[in-house]
Amino acid sequence: MKIRYNDNADIVKTVQDGLKETGGYCPCRRERTEDNKCMCREFREQIRDPEFEGYCHCMLYYKEK
């Protein structure tokens, strides 16, 4: 298993800029809860799933099998 940034540098920059503006909370979500702090709970759960391969919600990270 490997976690990497999206290959699209524009997406990475946009999301990272959004994270800076929101204090580390996912810029794609409205609620500011610990579950939405980057790396969000949803993606952490996807990482634990050995069958999951794909992007996190905001497309910053990609999990490879």
pLDDT of residue 14: 97
Segments of the chain scoring below 70 in pLDDT: none
Tell me what pLDDT residue 15 has: 97
Record the pTM: 0.90
Kindly provide the b/e burial profile for residues 25-49, where b requires at least 16 CB atoms within 10 angstroms of the residue's own CB: bbbeeeeeeeebebebeebeebeee
Instruction: Say which residues have a Cβ less than 8 Å from residue 43's Cβ, sequence separation at least 6.
Output: 56, 57, 61, 63
12-24: burial string, b at 16+ Cβ within 10 Å, e else: eeebeebbeebee
Which pLDDT does position 49 carry in this prediction?
A: 97
Output the six-digit token pair for 1.
């298993």
Residue 40 is given by DSSP the state: P
